[in-house]
Amino acid sequence: MRWSRAFIPTLRDDPADAEAVSHRLLVRAGYIRQLAAGHYSMLPLGQRVRSKVERIIREEMDAIGGQQFHLPAMHPAEIWRKSGRWDAIGDEMFRLRDRKSAEFALGFTHEEVFALLATELPSYRDLPQIWYQIQTKFRDEPRPKAGVLRVREFTMKDSYTLDLDRPGLDKGFDLHHVAYLRIFRRMGLDPVDVQASSGIMGGTESVEFIVPSPAGEDRIATCASCGYRANVERATSRLDPVADPEQVPEVEEFDTPGIRTIAQLAAAFAGDADPVRQIKSLVYVIDGELTLVLLRGDHDLQEQKLIDATLATAIRPARAEEIREALGASPGSLGAVGASEIPVLADLALKGRRGMVTGANRDDVHVRNVDVDRDINVARWVDLRQVVEGEACPECGSPLEVWKGIEVGHIFKLGTKFSEAFGAVVQDDQGVSHPIVMGSYGIGLERAMAAVVEWSHDELGIVWPVPVAPYEVVVTVVRVGDGDSMAAAERLVGELQAGGVDVLLDDRDERPGVKFADAELIGIPHRLTIGPNGLARGVVEVTRRRGLETEEIDVDRAVPEVIARVTEGRRIGRA
RNA sequence: CGGGACGUGGCGCAGUUUGGCAGCGCGCAGCGUUCGGGACGCUGAGGUCGCCGGUUCGAAUCCGGCCGUCCCGACCA
């Protein structure tokens, strides 16, 4: 491609309000443009990168036996009703009606459609299957952000495994796990595979692939000494035991005028009401039902754990009026002692605790001497608290680290939820029918692209790894007006293309500084610079984008040298 | 959804407080000089000031409503 004919609209200024580095660079370097919040156009450079990502994914999916499909992006409401997700997903699903006023949804994911197709498999002999597609997904995110990292319309590679039984599912899941690591490594990423919450997908087990980055929205807890790693939505930790009294006298009220927070109470009764001795009482509305959620005073609730524990589709903190109506007190004076009207969920860290302090369900009054097991009617004990950096690893006791990252992939063991809903059953070798056991696996392509940029850039611009670079080489002609330079450039470009290399020829009549700066901004991994001074001595220059080391090389040696560098770059992430 | 901010040529912004010819930088076009690390001079094109309504002799500016976008918090590839 000739740069003079290409649509590569680079900008001198940073776009306004672009916080994430990848957003800034992808806009400035002419890869993407925003159409509306959460909807981006892929310009030619962006499209080329996405195609390369797609090719890597296709190769690795085909390598584990995947078959590619292409399903509709728009679905009749009926199939979503059948799985129960028409109601469960809520506002995050785009919905529309056709001219006959029939209801449709824009595909949020494709378990339903694939499960429907799976009804055509009659026998265990047809299993296992690995089905995938690369297709647009629509999610009405409440707040799209960070450029292409979190959008409302994006491309996803989604795949689904269909198996007769759990061991089959485990095998398909592990195949995906390994394939995903290969895919991301070939993109030049080094993701961490962590235990995760399954969220709206349901299912029993899931693993996320996280690229460490300050622009990421996920927080991950890891243990350097034993390798434990989990999303904080799921992570646990071992707590130091708290020395409680052997026995405590009866619960007793005491006046706490004006006190509304854990910190105020701890300060007012120094030594007797440290946060670890307090019970934090939160009220949530879980699928419409008011529920009291208890945690230790110094712990924070991890809402996803609450959702997972209750299998709720919608939770929210209760409003002050709702709380007052149910418990007779304002937030800040709540407690579970004697609260029999509403169910109580308690965090495991409270189990067996004695000598605790909590609200009395009367404003300005608290109670002491609480023995949790004796005095509170706990409906369920569950892990609800958010782990904090420095707490002990649940596996080995070493201190945990907590860091931020970008979720580029997520794999789920689904089970039989969808196959049962759609009647996707096969007969085994005894003639007995079984619902197909499903797994589901996703990669967000544009997000993965942005993650590469977050991971691989410098102060001058993007530094693409060769396997995903829009062009592998840019041939920069320093003086376009010089006939010998252009002739040499045309010849080298022809030879490189004949050798299978993706080449961009910078034949623009611009000053050299502009051309170098643009090449660095858009991040082409290798540059071949041709100028009259060098040509007079029979040499051209080769430059690596990463580090910008430049060396002169004989014109005749240039093509094999560049091909060797490109070939080496293409091997990134391959075993 | 809660909190904060913004909307003015393609991009980045000033002008709004105190109503009075719509500006600056970059980019773009033409000419000339330059040209191996984001050149310079001259000339020029380009704007429904987000939209609708109101106040006023007069509105980018004041008032009301709406729309859009960004950032911080609760949700997900």
A111-138 mean pLDDT = 97
Confidence band for A371, pLDDT divided at 50, 70 and 90? confident
ipTM exceeds 0.85 = yes
* Strand A218-222 with A252-255, pairing: unpaired
What local confidence, expressed as pLDDT, does residue A201 receive? 52
What is the SS3 assignment for A93? coil
The answer to whether the C-beta of A336 is closer than 7 A to strand B is no
CA A209 to C1' B18 (Å) is 58
Q: Give the distance, in angstroms, between residue A314 CA and nucleotide B46 C1'.
A: 52
d(CA A508, CA A504): 11
Higher pLDDT residue, A122 or A336?
Answer: A122
Residue A261 pLDDT more than 90?
no
In tens, the pLDDT along A5-59 reads: 999 999 988 877 677 899 999 999 999 999 999 999 999 999 999 999 999 999 9
What's the pLDDT at A200?
53
Going by pLDDT thresholds of 50, 70 and 90, the confidence category of residue A504 is very high
Please check the confidence at residue A244 and state whether its pLDDT lies above 60: yes
pLDDT averaged over every residue in chain A: 91
Q: What is the pLDDT of residues A63-101, one digit of tens each?
A: 999 999 999 999 999 999 999 888 888 788 999 999 899
CA atoms within 13 A on the CB side of A455: 23
Q: Is the pLDDT of residue A327 over 80?
A: no
| B18 C1' to A17 CA distance, Å | 31
The structure tokens 């240039």 sit at A558
Confidence of residue A204 (pLDDT cuts 50, 70, 90): low
Interval A233-241 mean pLDDT: 88
Nucleotide nearest to A39 (CA to C1'): B69
pLDDT of residue A161: 97
**pLDDT for res A487:** 96
Coil, helix or strand at residue A312: coil
Helix axes A555-570, A483-498, angle to 10 degrees: 40
- Pairing label, strands A315-317, A279-286: antiparallel
Going by their DSSP bridges, the two strands A289-296 and A344-347 should be labelled as parallel
What does the alpha-carbon distance between residue A556 and residue A560 come to, in Å, rounded to a whole number?
A: 8
Strand B-proximal residues of A, range 12-51, CB below 7 A, are 12-20, 23, 34, 36-38
As a whole number, mean pLDDT of residues A269-293 equals 84
**What confidence tier does A202 reach under pLDDT thresholds 50, 70, 90?**
low
- Distances in whole angstroms, Cα of residue A39 to Cα of each of A35, A124, A269: 6, 42, 54
Distance CA A109, CA A169 (A): 20
User: Could you check: is the Cβ of residue A92 within 7 Å of any atom of nucleic acid strand B?
Assistant: yes
Query: Taking the alpha carbons of A362, A366, A369, A372 in that order, is the dihedral positive or negative?
Result: positive
Q: Classify A432 as helix, strand or coil.
A: coil
What is the CA A482 to C1' B75 distance in angstroms?
58
Sign of the Cα torsion A497, A499, A502, A504 reads negative
Q: What is the pLDDT of residue A471?
A: 98
- Name the residues in A531-570 having a C-beta closer than 7 Å to nucleic acid strand B: 531-535, 541, 543, 548, 550
- Judged against a pLDDT cut of 80, whether residue A446 lies above it is answered with yes
Query: Under a CB-based contact definition with an 8 Å cutoff, are residues A8 and A462 in contact?
Result: no
